[in-house]
Amino acid sequence: MIEWQYRCLQSISREFESPSHLQFMPALKMSKRGLVPVQSGSPFADFEKSVFIPDAHIPHLEEAIFEKLLQFLHDFQPQKIFILGDWMDFYNLSKFDQDPTLFGQLQKELNLGKFYLDKIRSACPKAGGIFLEGNHEDRLRRWLWKNPEIASLMALDIPSLLGLNEVGFDFIPYKDYYNYNGSLIIKHGDIVRMHSAYTAKAELEKHGVSGISGHTHRLGQFNKTDNAGQRVWQEAGCICKMELPWSKNNNWQQGFVYGYMENPGNRFHIVPVPIIKSRFFADGTYYR
Ligand SMILES: [Fe+2]
Ligand SMILES: [Fe+2]
């Protein structure tokens, strides 16, 4: 046993005699297209950049955040932009009692929803867009199912009302999810636990794979390594105001997520961005 340990130590010390493995590699720089270029002889494929925008609850979007998020989108030029759901609040379609002074605002709010999507499209004209429906957009379906006489009108579905085709966003219905290269689930979310990252843990345990979700308005990450490998689930925060007409004194965190996703491939690196008083650091820049 002693001899075996000694041999091991010998081989380790031999390995460390050569400093070649300690040489610094040049950092990979983003090209104008935003892809990390393949270096000659590199075993790695390209990485594409994605941004994940959580709950905006328009018209209760925090404008000071959105302005800086737009600047970041313009600077970062992601290949894909995900709207993680609850883009619209649809307070007027809520099943709960409503403040009458906030009634009759639906068209105005839809116009705002389209306006902000247009702004995102202008900041990133070439990015692919994916719009995930949240439970707040799903209020429209629930309302229509109670009034089925007009439920089949295409003009009343979310893609038509928000003009998603015109701004180049694909639509994913509530409770469906986007499967990113078979390694990462992107969804709005339908689980809520009371603390940051507790929902992330529940989502990871439910799906057994990595993912990113909105819905809780909390920013939190849960990591797990076992025989199936290393996985992560990210709760993405929110970009709405910290208090909404229907919810006060909230344990919420404003934030969003961006990431580098291997394509083709299944490696990814996701970066949560906490937003503190409408300011944040992202990709090495301070947005204030
Ligand atoms: Fe939600
Ligand atoms: Fe939400």
Q: What is the pLDDT along the chain (288 residues), one digit of tens a residue?
A: 444 443 433 443 334 344 555 555 555 555 444 555 444 434 445 899 999 999 999 999 999 999 999 999 999 999 999 999 999 999 888 877 777 777 778 999 999 999 999 999 999 999 999 999 999 999 999 999 998 888 888 889 999 999 999 999 999 999 999 999 888 999 999 999 999 999 999 999 999 999 999 999 999 999 999 998 999 999 999 999 999 988 999 999 999 999 999 988 889 999 999 999 999 999 999 999
| Residue 24 pLDDT | 55
Model pLDDT, residue 263: 83
Identify the pLDDT of residue 242: 98
Q: How far is the CA of 166 from the centre of ligand 1 (A)?
A: 25
| Cα–ligand 2 centroid distance for 57 (angstroms) | 6
Instruction: Determine the distance separating the centroid of ligand 1 and the alpha carbon of 28, expressed in angstroms.
Output: 37
The domains of the chain are located at 53-287
Cα 216 to averaged position of ligand 2 atoms, centre (Å): 6
Residue 60 Cα to ligand 1 midpoint, Å, equals 14
Distance (angstroms) between ligand 1 centre and the Cα of 137 equals 9
Ligand nearest to the CA of 191: 1
Q: What is the DSSP string of 196-245?
A: TTHHHHHHHHHHSSEEEE-SS--EEEEEEEETTEEEEEEEE-B-B-S-BT
164 Cα: distance to centroid of ligand 2 (angstroms): 20
Ligand 1 centroid–CA 135 distance in Å is 5
Closest ligand by atom to 134 CA: 1
Ligand 2 center from residue 88 Cα (angstroms): 9
For residue 20, what pLDDT is reported? Answer: 52
Fold type of domain 53-287: Purple Acid Phosphatase; chain A, domain 2 (3.60.21)
User: What is the reported pLDDT for 214?
Assistant: 98
pLDDT number for residue 280: 98
Q: Which residues surround ligand 2, an ion (CB under 5 A)?
A: 55, 86
CA of 216 to the centre of ligand 1 (A): 7
pLDDT score of 11: 41
pLDDT of residue 258: 98
Ligand nearest to the CA of 237: 2
